[in-house]
Amino acid sequence: MAAGGWSERVLQLILKMNSLQREGCVPFCVCGRRVGWVAPSVAQLLSKHSDVFTFRGGAPGRLDLAENLKTPQERTAAVQETMRALRSHHVAPCLQEWRDELYDVKHLFGDVPLLSMERAATPLLGVPRYGVHVNGYLRKGDEIFMWLGRRSASKPSYPGMLDHLAAGGVAAGAGVWETLLKECTEEACIPPSLAATARSAGTVSYAYRQEEALYLECQFVFDLEVPENFQPLVGDGEVQEFYLWPLAKVKEAISTEEFKPNCALVVLDFLLRHGGINPDDERYYQTFVENLHAPL
């Protein structure tokens, strides 16, 4: 991250995480509804798999899933087979992060899924990915402290970086609340009775590009106030250690390369909502708020 003051470093981060230019990208549609965005080079590549994808030319054109795939099951099987074939030929770096974990594909989060597809393949089609992030915090007098986790050094993505108390993607067929309870239990051994007190705090969304992969992500944010005697425990091994830091220290950390980038955005949202940043003192206050809620 470039040098400069805290505000400039965080501004650079948030603009990088929300830098996707949709102009020139090709809409990806299923049953006539746009469900993603595709880089033109990817649209041309997928058009060679004409039994699964149909590319309609023009500017910017349109990529459709083949109309002969009538059911979600047929669409899922066809897309999975195509993505496995592309992976075997090392077509896109994102496909090498294959996890055998399916995500649902839909126009809006609340819609019925049109198909499911491998998590690692979703950026190739610019399909929005949804997750849950839990801000675990406590109050001591007038001061707020936040629980953070350090990711395992063996994680395939962002190893050893600072993360939330609990977080995870919403897998195919799962709901937001189900995911929250699952991640709290598995990652930090949080009792279900305590996890159930988490309060919804809206969403944080962003969109960026890495080579031909388009990452459009929406995190459902929850605040979980915990008692002073609470102690998270390492569960499934995705986190190697937990820390309880004063909010001022957490605020400074999100401007460094030690913090997982999307978690830094969720913490920034927490700071904005809990008075850790105020509009009279922060030059980029409005820019921060606007760029935490990108349209997907």
Report whether pLDDT(217) > 80: yes
In which band, very low, low, confident or very high, does the pLDDT at 60 lie, cut at 50, 70 and 90?
Answer: confident
Residue 241: predicted pLDDT: 93
Which pair of structure tokens corresponds to residue 208?
Answer: 């960026």
Q: Does the model's pTM come out above 0.75?
A: yes
Report whether pLDDT(237) > 90: no
Residue 204 burial (C-beta neighbours within 10 Å; 0-12, 13-18, 19+): buried
Tell me the Cα Rg of the chain: 20
Which pair of structure tokens corresponds to residue 163?
Answer: 């993360």
Number of separate helices (H) and strands (E) present in the chain: 8, 13
Q: What superfamily in CATH does domain 6-19+129-290 come from?
A: Nucleoside Triphosphate Pyrophosphohydrolase (3.90.79.10)
Residue 3: predicted pLDDT: 61
Residue 91: predicted pLDDT: 87
Mean pLDDT of 202-207: 98
Residue-wise DSSP of 200-237 = EEEEEEEEEEETTEEEEEEEEEEEEE--TT------SS
CATH number for the region 26-125 comes to 3.30.750.160
The residue to which tokens 């030929």 are assigned: 89
More confident residue, 251 or 156: 251
Report whether pLDDT(278) > 60: yes
Q: What is the pLDDT of residues 163-194, one digit of tens each?
A: 999 999 999 999 999 999 999 999 999 999 99
Indicate the residue type of 14. Answer: I
Q: Which residues of 75-89 are buried (b: 16+ CB within 10 A; e: fewer)?
A: bbebbbebbeebbee
What residue spans define the domains of the chain?
A: 6-19+129-290, 26-125
Report whether pLDDT(117) > 90: yes
Which pair of structure tokens corresponds to residue 16?
Answer: 């990088």
Report whether pLDDT(210) > 70: yes
Report whether pLDDT(59) > 90: no
101 and 171 Cβ atoms separated by less than 8 Å: yes
List, in sequence order, every residue forming a beta bridge with 151; answer none if it has no partner. 239
DSSP state of 9: H
Report whether pLDDT(4) > 80: no
List, in sequence order, every residue forming a beta bridge with 131; answer none if it has no partner. 169, 219
Mean pLDDT of 38-53: 94
d(CA 13, CA 2): 9
Query: How many CB atoms are located within 10 Å of the residue 29 CB?
Result: 18
Report whether pLDDT(2) > 70: no
Least confident of 93-107, 229-243, 280-294: 229-243
Q: Do strands 213-225 and 199-210 pair parallel, antiparallel, or not at all (unpaired)?
A: antiparallel
